């Protein structure tokens, strides 16, 4: 028996999206094969990394995150600038957690003002995230989208209950959308169909299928991503061909293990890195992360995997 490389034939391709403007713009997705398998398809863009900051001081963040940034976290534009200059991610994710009714319940105007500050502070593309409170996100997103008008940003996260508002905001200001569904391949597809049927272009949708942390349901996210990629690439399902975003930092740092700081490198750093790596192995196209060292580990690995 002689060996021949067993290759898969792919009939579909992930949509290639462009975010941001000018020389800092970033392309995401576009692959026509499973992760790493460049011997049988193209992976034109390596997985992208966005680093997360918040509109208000994140009291609830774990200590290793607070200590890495220090007081700069109290000044949103300074924090944004620091991330761009020191961590050099592909994008910056601004989470407007302060708008949540259980937090500071900041108004749409306050939120938009923060977005404006961040837009002015950075050159890399911006992701604007609400607090995932369906009603409140609906209330603030139009104003926030306007504050970044023309920047080709990404706004999120649109859910089944508020996707129309997100679509309108994104369309009027030239942004893309992150569509969030509940760890279920059918719900993910359903939301993409709803969005496109409402007239929103498929080429401007990112999918977030909900990212559970390592040890806390990571395998569900992992298999949902794998199944979406199989449908997208092998069955050419056009409603599954949107790039996948994994919002890792927020989940990885929430778990009990990540609070352990007795080790040489904080456990949370590895929890975030390995959760991220799991999703990239399944087919994730973009990560939203928190700790610079975790970003560094992922970046080194990705470079070794894709850059010859």
Partner 1 sequence: MALSGIQIFKYLPKTNCGKCKFPTCLAFAMKLAAKQASLDDCPDASNEAKEILGAASEPPIRLIKIGTGEDLYKVGEEAVMFRHEKTFYNPCGFSRMIKDTDSTDNIKLIISNLNDFVYERVGQHLKVDIIYIKNESGDKDKFVNTVKLVQAGIKRPLILDSSNIDNLKAALDICADKKPLIYAANEDNYETMTALAKEKGCSLVVTSIQGGLEALSVLTEKITGLGFKDIVLDPASKSLSSLVQELTQIRRAAIKKSFKPLGFPVIIFSGRYSDGDRLLEANISAIGVSKYASIIVMNDTSREIMIPLFAMRQNIYTDPQKPMQVEEKIYKIGEANEDSPVLITTNFSLTYFIVAGEVENSKVPSWLVVANVEGLSVLTAWAAGKFTPEKITKLVKESGIESMVKHRKLIIPGYVAVLSGGIESKLPDWKIQVGPREASGIINFLKNYAA
**Sequence-separated contacts (24+) of 178-182 with Cβ below 8 Å:** 178/127, 178/129, 178/154, 178/206, 178/207, 178/208, 178/245, 179/205, 179/206, 179/207, 179/208, 179/242, 180/132, 180/156, 180/208, 180/210, 181/207, 181/208, 181/209, 181/210, 182/210
Please say which residue, 172 or 223, places its beta carbon nearer to partner 1. Answer: 223
Interface residues with partner 1 (CB under 8 A) are: 1-3, 5-6, 34, 36-39, 60, 102, 212, 214-220, 222-223, 226-227, 230, 254-257, 260, 263-267, 269-271, 273-275, 277-278, 281-282, 293, 297-298, 300-301, 304-306, 308
The pair of three-digit structure tokens given for residue 112, joined into one six-digit string: 């938009």
Residue 304 CA to residue 225 CA, distance in Å, equals: 23
| CB of residue 199 to partner 1, shortest distance in Å | 30
- Name residue, tokens 């496109």: 196
Please say which residue, 81 or 136, places its beta carbon nearer to partner 1. Answer: 136
- Name residue, tokens 């003002």: 113
Please say which residue, 12 or 266, places its beta carbon nearer to partner 1. Answer: 266
Please say which residue, 8 or 71, places its beta carbon nearer to partner 1. Answer: 8
Please say which residue, 60 or 203, places its beta carbon nearer to partner 1. Answer: 60
| CB of residue 172 to partner 1, shortest distance in Å | 30
123 contacts 131 by C-beta, under 8 angstroms = no
| CB of residue 142 to partner 1, shortest distance in Å | 24
| CB of residue 8 to partner 1, shortest distance in Å | 8
| CB of residue 268 to partner 1, shortest distance in Å | 9
């Amino acid at each position: 028996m002689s060996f021949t490389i067993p290759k898969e034939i792919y009939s579909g391709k992930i949509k290639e999206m462009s975010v941001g403007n000018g020389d800092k713009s970033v392309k995401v997705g576009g692959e026509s094969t499973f992760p790493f398998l460049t011997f049988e398809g193209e992976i034109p863009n390596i997985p992208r990394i966005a680093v997360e900051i918040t509109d208000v001081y994140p009291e609830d963040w774990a200590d290793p995150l607070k200590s890495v940034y220090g007081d700069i976290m109290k000044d949103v534009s300074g924090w944004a600038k620091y991330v761009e200059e020191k961590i050099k991610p592909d994008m910056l994710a601004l989470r407007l957690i302060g708008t949540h009714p259980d937090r500071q319940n900041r108004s749409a105007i306050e939120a938009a003002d923060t977005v404006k500050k961040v837009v002015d502070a950075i050159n890399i593309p911006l992701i604007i995230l609400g607090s995932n409170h369906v009603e409140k996100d609906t209330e603030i997103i139009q104003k926030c989208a306007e504050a970044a008008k023309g920047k080709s940003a990404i706004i999120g996260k649109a859910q089944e209950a508020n996707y129309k508002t997100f679509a309108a905001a994104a369309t009027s200001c030239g942004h893309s959308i992150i569509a969030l569904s509940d760890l279920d391949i059918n719900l993910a597809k359903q939301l993409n169909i709803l969005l496109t049927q409402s007239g929103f272009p498929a080429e401007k949708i990112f999918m977030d299928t909900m990212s559970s942390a390592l040890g806390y349901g990571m395998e569900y996210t992992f298999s949902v991503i794998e199944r979406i990629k199989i449908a997208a690439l092998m069955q050419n399902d056009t409603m599954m061909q949107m790039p996948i975003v994994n919002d890792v930092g927020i989940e990885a740092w929430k778990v009990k293990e990540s609070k352990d700081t007795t080790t040489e490198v904080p456990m949370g750093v590895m929890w975030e890195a390995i959760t991220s790596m799991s999703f990239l192995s399944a087919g994730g196209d973009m990560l939203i992360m928190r700790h610079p060292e975790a970003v560094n580990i992922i970046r080194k690995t990705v470079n070794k995997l894709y850059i010859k």
